[in-house]
């Protein structure tokens, strides 16, 4: 029997979003899903951006959506040239990237940086919260390794 870690290494490093079309319902009626289901590879991995994880879709005003995720990137030629041995225990640099959709997730903008890597190694785990006291403000939380942290468990 394969270990769970071995199984995870075989999962392609990409973010795939399944978009379910929602029909707009007026008043207090609940929205009813349409039969349109579309699968889109929004953030494919590459040699320079070899892994993506911790994604979330956040609703913005005017029906827009923002996808935020952890985007790992190469910081040396060796990371691009050499075949990576592991996706889960490497000291990879990471930033929080984002894209915007104006059509309920069918198409997405170019990638932009939501939070640059300001930590020694990486910033991760984006979380967004719209303030109820001021709906025009969105708080963003993320994690970064503490000073003196070393890779490995």
Q: Provide the pLDDT for residue 138.
A: 93
Q: Which helix (H) or strand (E) holds 134?
A: none
Of residues 27 and 50, more confidently modeled? 50
Q: For all residues of the chain together, what is the average pLDDT?
A: 74
Q: Provide the pLDDT for residue 22.
A: 33
Give the list of residues 6+ apart from residue 56 with CB closer than 8 angstroms, or none. Answer: 67, 68, 69, 126, 127, 128
* Confidence band for 34, pLDDT divided at 50, 70 and 90: low
Question: What average pLDDT does range 34-54 have in this prediction?
Answer: 81
Domain assignments of the chain as residue spans, ordered by start:
46-143
Top-confidence range, 47-61, 94-108, 137-151: 94-108
Q: Provide the pLDDT for residue 92.
A: 79
Q: How far is CA 63 from the centre of its chain?
A: 19
Of residues 110 and 7, more confidently modeled? 110
Report the C-alpha gap between 135 and 31 in whole angstroms: 22
Q: Provide the pLDDT for residue 66.
A: 96
Q: How far is CA 13 from the centre of its chain?
A: 11
Return the exposure string of 109-128: e unless at least 16 CB atoms fall within 10 Å of the residue's CB, then b: eeeeebbebebebbbbebeb
Of residues 144 and 57, more confidently modeled? 57
Of residues 33 and 87, more confidently modeled? 33
Q: Provide the pLDDT for residue 118.
A: 86
């Amino acid at each position: 029997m394969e270990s769970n870690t071995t199984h995870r290494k075989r999962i392609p490093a990409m973010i795939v979003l399944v978009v379910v079309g929602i029909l707009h319902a007026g008043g207090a009626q609940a929205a009813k899903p349409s039969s349109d289901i579309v699968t889109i590879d929004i953030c494919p991995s590459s040699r320079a951006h070899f892994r993506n994880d911790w994604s979330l879709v956040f609703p913005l005003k005017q029906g827009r959506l923002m996808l935020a995720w952890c985007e790992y990137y190469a910081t040396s030629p060796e990371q691009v040239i050499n075949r990576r041995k592991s996706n889960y225990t490497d000291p990879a640099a990471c930033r929080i990237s984002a894209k915007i959709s104006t059509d309920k997730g069918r198409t997405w903008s170019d990638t932009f940086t939501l939070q640059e890597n300001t930590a020694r190694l990486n910033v991760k785990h984006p979380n967004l919260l719209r303030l109820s006291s001021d709906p025009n403000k969105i708080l963003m939380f993320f994690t970064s390794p503490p000073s003196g942290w070393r890779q490995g468990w």
